[in-house]
Structure 1
Amino acid sequence: ASAIRERLEARVGGSIRGVVPGTPEAAALKQALIDDGLWSQYLEVAIGPDAEVFTKAPVLATVGADADIGIRSDSTWNNPEPEIALLVDNRGKTVGAMLGNDVNLRDFEGRSALLLGKAKDNNASCSLGPLVRLFDDSFTIDDVRTAQVALRIEGEDGYVLEGASNMAEISRDPLDLVRQTLSEHQYPDGFALFLGTLFAPVQDRDDPGRGFTHKINDIVSIESAKLGRLVNRVVTSRDAAPWQTGIGALMTNLAQRGLLETKK
């Protein structure tokens, strides 16, 4: 990897880490990678003009701290993705942040880009928590830009994996991701936006060369100094508590408690 990086930096000029997505320098790097047979769909969204923006979970389908998180029962290669998520209101203003786990099925996603929805959106496959920290004088978007996000996975088999993601090295600025998300879409109720991760689990768990994958009852802890610690247990999406409280159930609950007023 170091040799490839040095060769590309010599051809492109400057540090690869310093390349700004969507710029002429990024286009030159892309061409160099294509020439060397190293281009991929992941690099396209990392340094190309368009960020990767997709729907991770429907409204009210996300689980919180200490809940079970789900992986598909037919997935054999999967991993957590420790991230920070921004809270954006219905006016497009970024108002706070929290931790999240963008659970990923690498076997489904890697097989075809068209399977991204199946790889990302399953029962209990998205967790957020343990709190929402609103922006104020003591906590700003700059704290998000420089945050360290730590990950620890503990298995019943005694396996332990630790990793980290440095937000300062993410290729796209958090507010640029918000801008791209809102450029062609409206969110009248606001949204939570995952910002991505640098964490890639390459440590073998079982067979050499097979890398990491979850096992049932793994405990996943995601932590950042100013956002607390988010802990979840891994189960299959079939075994996780079913998602039953949708928008209809929410409206029914509010009506039963007399919290819906009709304008006269």
Structure 2
Amino acid sequence: MRIIRFLDNNSQIVLAALTDQEEVYPIPFNDFMELVNLAEKSGISTLKLVETSISGVTALKERVEDLQLIVPIEAPEVWASGVTYEKSRDARNYEATGGKVDVETCYDKVYDAERPEIFFKSTAARTVGPNTPVYLRSDSNWQIPEPEVALVISKSGKIVGYTAGNDMSSRDIEGENPLYLPQAKIWKHSCSVGPAIRLAETVEDPYNFQITCRIYRNNKLVVEGNANTSQLKRRFDELVSFLEKDNEIFDGTVLMTGTCIVPPNEFTLQDNDQIEIEVSTIGVLSNPVKEQQRSKEAVK
């Protein structure tokens, strides 16, 4: 069972359940965490509350593809995890050393360390949903999407849902100096989440999500990669435990868990590219790419 949000014909936000048969049922809640919290207060599972809410209700005639989907949760904070896959470590090393091999970097150290890399990524205002443009950073010349499985977390640190995320990244900025990480990761529309939230209790094995990333240019597929969360170096609960340390977690916080799909080193996103990130049993997060006005100080 998945949860989506969409705009109706009057531009009103509707929360809905999306079944595995792709049937859409509006449910009488304002947002995902209201649903989760009411289920917990009532002493039942979130799935049971959803099933009760749609019992006897007729599914919408519209297909989910015909709905104007929006971000499935307005996360107060989005955090991200880095270097959680071997391929991510290798890509960061390439950036930091200019392609040199057998040179130990900070990324090797964090990959093997007890403490994971966790960094702040976005707020609700900077995060977009399906079919909304993600932006290119104006002072970067080497940018890629980072397709990831993202966790939806309650204020108690419980994983209540899974979704797909795009942690847009400027490889040249981070490669120039690791201290530039916030600038390499955070800018307007540099984060997308969606299209749906899979209820955590309906996921049999979260370490078997199949992730696929496709990038189209002029309607032609130019990049495609696949990965599986079985390749993760760290566990999801481990990442959450470090995010929680001496920190206040807000209901609906999203934590991205790292990427294992990296486009070829010679590739960079361009204006009007189309990114598709598909996570099995969750759906396809699709976003067009748009170029922002480049500043006078932009890198030449």
For normalisation by structure 2, the TM-score amounts to 0.61
AA paired with 1:179?
S
Matched, 1:174 2:239: no
Matches within 5 A, 1:94-109: 94-109=159-174
Match of 2:267 among 212, 215, 219: 212
Structure 1 residues 143-173: Cα deviation after superposition (integer angstroms, max 9, x where no partner):
x211110010001284511001211011111
RMSD: 2.1
AA paired with 1:109?
E
In the aligned structure 2, how far is the partner of 1:237 from the partner of 1:98? Answer: 27
The answer on whether the counterparts of 1:123 and 1:238 sit within 8 Å (CA) in structure 2 is: no
Match of 1:191 among 242, 253, 264: 253
Matched, 1:155 2:217: yes
AA paired with 1:233?
P
Matched, 1:139 2:203: yes
Secondary structure of 1:56's counterpart equals strand
Matches within 5 A, 1:1-264: 37-136=102-201, 138-140=202-204, 142=205, 144-156=206-218, 158=220, 160-202=222-264, 211-238=266-293
TM-superposed CA distance for 1:237, in Å, is 4.5
In the aligned structure 2, how far is the partner of 1:151 from the partner of 1:37? Answer: 29
The answer on whether the counterparts of 2:148 and 2:258 sit within 8 Å (CA) in structure 1 is: yes
TM-superposed CA distance for 1:179, in Å, is 0.7
Secondary structure of 1:45's counterpart equals helix
Structure 2: 5+ residue stretches without partners:
1-83, 87-100, 295-300
The answer on whether the counterparts of 1:151 and 1:163 sit within 8 Å (CA) in structure 2 is: yes
AA paired with 1:103?
M
In the aligned structure 2, how far is the partner of 1:155 from the partner of 1:201? Answer: 14
The answer on whether the counterparts of 2:210 and 2:228 sit within 8 Å (CA) in structure 1 is: yes
In the aligned structure 2, how far is the partner of 1:159 from the partner of 1:166? Answer: 21
TM-superposed CA distance for 1:184, in Å, is 2.4
The answer on whether the counterparts of 1:153 and 1:221 sit within 8 Å (CA) in structure 2 is: yes
TM-superposed CA distance for 1:41, in Å, is 2.1
The answer on whether the counterparts of 1:78 and 1:214 sit within 8 Å (CA) in structure 2 is: yes
Q: Which has the higher strand share?
A: 2
Residue of structure 1 in register with 2:89 after alignment: none
For normalisation by structure 1, the TM-score amounts to 0.70
In the aligned structure 2, how far is the partner of 1:79 from the partner of 1:198? Answer: 13
In the aligned structure 2, how far is the partner of 1:75 from the partner of 1:60? Answer: 22
Structure 1: 5+ residue stretches without partners:
1-16, 20-35, 203-209, 240-264
Secondary structure of 1:231's counterpart equals strand
TM-superposed CA distance for 1:102, in Å, is 0.4
Runs of 4+ that moved beyond 6 A: none
In the aligned structure 2, how far is the partner of 1:99 from the partner of 1:159? Answer: 20
